[in-house]
Amino acid sequence: MEFALANLDTADGERAAIALPSGYFRLDLLDATFGGRFGSTLREIMNRWQDAWPSLVGLATRCAAEGAWSRAYVATADAMLITPIRFPNKLVCVGAVYRDHLREFNLPAERWPKMPIFLRPPSTSIVGPGGAVAIPPNTKQFDWEVELAVVIGARLTDADLDSAQAAIAGYTVGIDLTCRDLLDRESTIGVDLVRAKAQDAMAPVGPVLMPAEFVSDPQQLRLRLYVNDEIKQDGCTSDMLYSVYEQVATISRFITLEPGDIVFTGSCAGSGASIGQFLQPGDRVRAEIDKVGRLEVGIAEARRRPEGYRETLVE
């Protein structure tokens, strides 16, 4: 039986839950000893993912049998979902992955000599479903990209492909938001990924974690992104130049991946920059990945700078 996992905002604080079509089931109310063994949040459960997995399978079967009669049951309409992993130690992002995305920017659809990798500050970048993302100040080109996000469930260093696969706990939906006009490609010090991609709330993640057990082939997942219900991106992970397992293995040769870490695995064609369209206040963004989930966020007015603010430039 397939199920997903979620983090709920409850009166008792952040609590992990099993997600079924019928609703959500709080793990702390299903089994009083579960939290003591594995933790009360998904982030904590990741630290002992392999040990926790058999218990989760058993509890999911029980949830399906008890349904709304379970004391742990939370109706979908009453569930307050937050980002599944709050917060990982690292959010690692891989670029230049999809052939069609490279082609739309008139770049060769081939592997780069070095797979592009960069880090984002997870505790400020990551937000969950349903909220509004404020457009950063000083950008006129706020762009969208849907990405398959990988959640790590074991410590991983210098991994091969089999070890990388075994270390993946599950998958969720990521939205990579970018200030295209802040990349500063012409700068003498190189591309500015902090201003362009790592500002607050620019990495929505969620709404649930789909265990890897239920995703038989991560290279056969369709990705779609809509802005105000108009489809903008429609691709497939089969178009990746670097497979999901290869991305995770490669990263582990430079950075030790730890339980709960998240990897954004690149985006397919259809970004706003390719057509000269960008996000505006009031827009709604919906990202969908087959077998993984659907994530929605709103776009809000730019946050205000303090009065008299101006960025100091180094001469």
Same domain, 208 and 178: yes
165-202: pLDDT as tens digits: 999 999 999 999 999 999 887 666 668 888 999 999 99
Same domain, 72 and 212: no
Of 82, 115, 131, which residue constitutes the final position of a domain? 82
**3-state SS assignment for residue 227:** strand
Of 52, 82, 112, which residue constitutes the final position of a domain? 82
Q: In this structure, how many other beta carbons lie within 10 angstroms of the beta carbon of residue 14?
A: 16
Same domain, 257 and 133: yes
Same domain, 52 and 131: no
Report the share of the chain in percent with pLDDT over 90.
87
Name the token pair of 1: 């039986």
**3-state SS assignment for residue 117:** strand
Same domain, 75 and 120: no
Q: Are 195 and 285 in contact (CB under 8 A)?
A: no
- Rounded to whole angstroms, how far apart are CA atoms 43 and 85? 5
271-312: pLDDT as tens digits: 999 999 999 999 999 999 999 999 999 999 987 766 655 655
Same domain, 22 and 122: no
194-237: pLDDT as tens digits: 899 999 999 999 999 999 999 999 999 999 999 999 999 999 99
308 lies in a domain? no
Of 54, 82, 110, which residue constitutes the final position of a domain? 82
Q: Indicate the number of domains in the chain.
A: 2
- 201 lies in which domain range? 91-300
142 lies in a domain? yes
User: What is the average pLDDT across 19-31?
Assistant: 96
Same domain, 185 and 264: yes
Across 2-11, 66-75, 139-148, 297-306, least confident range: 297-306
